Amino acid sequence: MARSRGRGRTREAVFAALRELLLENPWAEVTLEAVAKKAGVSRQTLYNDFGSRRGLAEAYTFAMAEAYCDAVDDLLAAEPEPLAALEAAMQLFLTGAAEDPLIRRVQSGEAHHDLVRIVTADSGPLLDRIAERLAAGLAGRWPTVDAATVEAAATLMARLALGLVTMPPPAGDELAKRMALLVAPAFGA
């Protein structure tokens, strides 16, 4: 148990270091050695945990998705109004995506093709995980909605979110509301 907590703290430090480096440098200039140094771990630790720069980018992407899903779960539980809960969840993603340096690199066209593939051609596992987590959160919030509807709504939300990673959303505050309006009828909102 203590070992897994230590590994979790190491991963958090590595992801924080990667984020900091991406704020300062393009992906092409971010090396595992630089990430290891900034995170206070050995380069061998990164190779052992992630295998490669692409492996690190994939793990970082999955960690971001998990954090997003955790925050969505919290929003869904806290907001009594279904439409407002869905809109807040969509807005959370849009705001988070706009602030993340890895996503900004992909959106601006500055990302290495390996990064772009993680959220395009190779996005199946990421999409499945996001949809699975969203479905669990939606089912917990609306237990009377049938499983097929929950799954379809979660898949739609995951695909919308992932689609917005590769191309920046249009400017304006209405997008989250419009996206929520697409999904809300499934939940009686």
Number of domains comprising the chain = 2
Q: Which domain, by its residues, includes 136? A: 53-187
Do the beta carbons of residue 118 and residue 61 sit within 8 Å? yes
The pLDDT > 90 percentage for the chain reads: 36
User: Same domain, yes or no, for 161 and 123?
Assistant: yes
Mean pLDDT score, 143-162: 90
CATH number, domain at 131? 1.10.357
pLDDT of 164 reads: 77
User: Same domain, yes or no, for 41 and 127?
Assistant: no
**Closest by CA position to 165, among listed 110, 96, 114:** 96
Mean pLDDT score, 139-154: 92
User: Same domain, yes or no, for 113 and 40?
Assistant: no
Structure token pair of residue 188: 């009686």
Mean pLDDT score, 125-146: 92
User: Same domain, yes or no, for 46 and 60?
Assistant: no
Report pTM.
Answer: 0.82
pLDDT of 50 reads: 94
> What burial letters (b/e) apply to 36-72, b meaning 16+ CB within 10 Å?
bebbebeeebbeeebeebeebbbbbbeebbeebbeeb
User: Same domain, yes or no, for 25 and 43?
Assistant: yes
Mean pLDDT score, 85-111: 79
User: Same domain, yes or no, for 180 and 102?
Assistant: yes
User: Same domain, yes or no, for 122 and 35?
Assistant: no
User: Same domain, yes or no, for 75 and 168?
Assistant: yes
Q: Is the pLDDT of residue 4 over 70?
A: no
Mean pLDDT score, 8-31: 89
User: Same domain, yes or no, for 34 and 125?
Assistant: no
**Closest by CA position to 165, among listed 126, 125, 135, 138:** 126
The owner of tokens 């490669």 is 52
User: Same domain, yes or no, for 96 and 179?
Assistant: yes
User: Same domain, yes or no, for 39 and 68?
Assistant: no
How far out from the chain centre does Cα 99 lie? 12
How many Cα atoms occupy the beta-carbon half-sphere of 99 within 13 Å? 8
Query: How sure is the predictor about 5, in pLDDT bands with cuts at 50, 70 and 90?
Result: low
Mean pLDDT score, 113-124: 80
Q: Following CA atoms 141, 146, 147, 150 in sequence, which dihedral angle do they give, to the nearest 10 degrees?
A: -50
Q: What is the chain's mean pLDDT, rounded? A: 85
> What is d(CA 84, CA 79) in angstroms, rounded to the nearest whole number?
7
pLDDT of 120 reads: 79
CATH number, domain at 16? 1.10.10.60
pLDDT of 117 reads: 81
Query: How sure is the predictor about 173, in pLDDT bands with cuts at 50, 70 and 90?
Result: low
pLDDT of 34 reads: 96
pLDDT of 18 reads: 92
Query: How sure is the predictor about 172, in pLDDT bands with cuts at 50, 70 and 90?
Result: low
